[in-house]
Amino acid sequence: MPGTRPIPPFTVITGTEVHRVLDGDERAVTAVVEQAYRTHGAGDTVNPPSYFLRFPDRPSARIIALPASLGGESGVDGLKWIASFPENVGGGIPRASAVLVLNDRVTGYPFAVMEASVVSASRTAASAALAADWLTRHRGRPRRAGFFGTGLIARYIHTYLAANGWDFGEIGLHDLAASSVDGFAGYLARTGTRAGVVRHDSAEALVRSSDLVVFATVADVPHVTDPSWFAHNPVVLHVSLRDLSPEIVLASTTIVDDVEHCLKAGTSVHLAEQRTGHRGFVHGTLFDVMTGAVDLPADRPLVFSPFGLGILDLAVGRHVYDRLAADGALTTIPGFFADVTRYG
The residue type found at 74 is S
Domains of the chain and any CATH numbers? 11-119+310-326 (3.30.1780.10), 122-305 (3.40.50.720)
Q: What is the pLDDT of residue 1?
A: 41
CA distances from 37 to 57, 101, 164, 323 (A): 37, 20, 18, 21
Handedness of CA 15, 261, 52, 277 (dihedral sign): positive
The contacts of residue 13 (CB under 8 Å, 6+ apart) are: 112, 113, 114, 115, 320, 321, 324, 330, 331
Residue 61 burial by Cβ neighbours in a 10 Å radius (0-12, 13-18, 19+)? middle
Per-residue pLDDT of the chain (344 residues; tens, 9 = 90+): 455 778 999 999 999 999 999 999 999 999 999 999 999 999 999 999 999 999 999 999 999 999 999 999 889 999 999 999 989 988 988 888 999 999 999 999 999 999 999 999 999 999 999 999 999 999 889 999 999 999 999 999 999 999 999 999 999 999 999 999 999 999 999 999 999 999 999 999 999 999 999 999 989 899 999 999 999 999 999 999 999 999 999 999 999 999 999 999 999 999 999 999 999 999 999 999 999 999 999 999 999 999 999 999 999 999 999 999 999 999 999 999 988 887 87
Core vs surface per residue 316-329: b (16+ CB within 10 A) or e: bbbbbbebbeeeee
State the SS3 of 198-261.
Answer: EECCCHHHHHHCCCEEEECCCCCCCCECCHHHHCCCCEEEECCCCCECHHHHHCCEEEECCHHH
Question: Inter-axis angle of helices 26-41 and 152-163, to 10 degrees?
Answer: 100
CA distances from 76 to 3, 25, 52, 116 (A): 23, 21, 23, 16
Contact predicate 237/212, CB 8 Å: yes
> How many Cα neighbours within 13 Å face the side chain of 109?
13
Helix (H) / strand (E) containing 66: strand 62-70
The contacts of residue 63 (CB under 8 Å, 6+ apart) are: 52, 53, 81, 82, 83, 84
Contact predicate 147/174, CB 8 Å: yes
Contact predicate 112/10, CB 8 Å: yes
